[in-house]
Every structure is written in C-alpha cells, then in structure tokens.
Amino acid sequence: MYGPSLEESDDEECSGDSRWITWYCGLKGHEFFAEVEEEYIKDNFNLYGLRGRFQYFDHALEMVSSSEPPDEDDLADVEFLELYRDAADLFGLIHARYIASPRGLQVMREKYLKGTFGTCPRVLCDRQHALPIGLSEDLRSSTVMLFCPKCEQTFSTKSKYKEVDGCYFGTSFPQIFLQSYHAMVPVQPPRPFVAKIFGFKVHKHKSLISRKLEDEDAKRQAAEADSKQTSEQGYPKTQVANM
C-alpha cells in the first residue's frame, strides 16, 4: 500500500513541467490532486506544525520541492522508497491546506466542473458531480471518499483511488468549497426514494431523504411564522412609541 507506481494517468491535465509534484499528481489514481504551487510550499507559514509529524521532514520536503521527478533506479532503491512515503504524506498534508486556499479552491473548482472527482453513485442524484473528502485528519486512517453535495452522503471511491489517503483532502474540504462557491450548491433538493410494491406506495414508509426534506420544510415554516408574529407584535408598539 502507498507504494509508487510508474503508471501515468490518462488524464491530460498535467502542466508539462517536470517538478516532482507534477510527476506525482500525474500518476494513475492521483487525478484528484491539485498541483500545489512552488510558492505555497516555500512559505513556512503553510508548513506550520508539520515538522513534528515526520521523522525525515527536511529530506521529505527536499523531495517534494525537487525540480526533477524520480527515475527508475530511484524507484527500485529501498532507501528512496522509505523517504518517498514520507514525501507523499508531507505533500498530502500540505495539499489538504492548499485546496482550502483561494488558489487551491480555484484549481479544485475546475476539476469539479469537469467531473474529475466522479459523480454520486446514487441513481436519484442524477450524476451529481461529487467532491473528495477524508473521514479523518490522521494519516492512514481511511482512504479518500466522495461527498455528494445533493444528497450530502459520503461514498467509497473507485478502486484506483484506494491508495489515496483521505487526510490528503481533509474532513472539511467540501464544506469550505461549497461555502466559497455558493453557485455550486445544487438548487434542486435530492429526489427521495419512494418505496413501492408492485406499483403501490408502501403505506407510512418514508425514506431518510423524504424525512429530511419534510423536516427542513417544517423548520422553514416555523421560522416564517415566528418572524411574522414578531413583526405583527412589534408594529403596534412602534406606533405607540411614535404617538
């Protein structure tokens, strides 16, 4: 697990330069990654608190910042591979911060619009584009998952992403993304599943999404009634005060 593979992705998103990061993001299964800019990594502020999480921080940072990708000899060298693991983790943790930055969000927005992260597997979400999410901020706790902004459920990814750690994206990324780009929040509520037997609706059976929608509706109506009542009660008082 987490070993490097020389197989390159079919995705033609690479910028063409030969940095380690470009090489790493171009590997098969690494299509979700945004290429972190050199300036972002050079800024010590962005690396704050990461040193203590790595045994060979300086060497790992050197590898990540390298202007050359590894060659075949490197990838056969045990020492190199040990350091590579640290470098990949360091890059991943920097990446989780980068994609929450304005520039990183823009890169992820382009990928989202293209559907690079895939679509929600729920049929009633009509191939809604999904976003990557982690279930933990700790390394090797879980692999990257998909979050659907329509049904707000989390799903497993395809097997080719099974070696990508979830914490390389973080647990808050979809929320930060959708708060930054309000227009990306699906306007249509998710279509609930209606349970039927031989064409007849199952009496009193409601799906989780139906209940959620009804709940939100009831809350909205209560809030509306509340504000109406407040303004009605407030009106005469103002009038009295004015008189």
Nearest-approach distance from CB 139 to Zn ion, in angstroms: 28
| Rounded (10°) angle between helices 57-65 and 78-98 | 80
Measured from the CB atom, the residue of 108 and 146 that comes closer to Zn ion is: 146
Q: How many contiguous H segments (helices) and E segments (strands) does the chain have?
A: 8, 5
146 lies in the binding site for Zn ion (CB under 5 A): no
Nearest-approach distance from CB 151 to Zn ion, in angstroms: 3
Measured from the CB atom, the residue of 19 and 150 that comes closer to Zn ion is: 150
Stretch that binds Zn ion, among 28-36, 66-74, 146-154, 201-209 (CB under 5 A): 146-154
150 lies in the binding site for Zn ion (CB under 5 A): yes
Residue with tokens 């823009």: 106
114: Cα within 13 Å, side-chain hemisphere: 13
Stretch that binds Zn ion, among 70-78, 82-90, 120-128, 226-234 (CB under 5 A): 120-128
Q: Which residues of 15-25 are buried (b: 16+ CB within 10 A; e: fewer)?
A: eeeebbbebbb
151 lies in the binding site for Zn ion (CB under 5 A): yes
203: Cα within 13 Å, side-chain hemisphere: 0
Nearest-approach distance from CB 152 to Zn ion, in angstroms: 8
Nearest-approach distance from CB 209 to Zn ion, in angstroms: 9
Nearest-approach distance from CB 123 to Zn ion, in angstroms: 9
129 lies in the binding site for Zn ion (CB under 5 A): no
Q: Rule CB under 5 A: choose which of 61, 87, 88, 120 binds Zn ion.
A: 120
Which tokens go with 230?
């407040």
Q: Compute CA 74 distance to the chain's CA centroid, rounded to the nearest angstrom.
A: 31
Measured from the CB atom, the residue of 64 and 146 that comes closer to Zn ion is: 146
Nearest-approach distance from CB 83 to Zn ion, in angstroms: 40
Bridge partners, residue 196, by sequence = 201
Sign of torsion, CA 42 46 52 56?
negative
131 lies in the binding site for Zn ion (CB under 5 A): no
What is the CB neighbour count within 10 angstroms for residue 162?
Answer: 12
Interaction site with Zn ion (CB under 5 A):
120, 122, 125, 148, 150-151
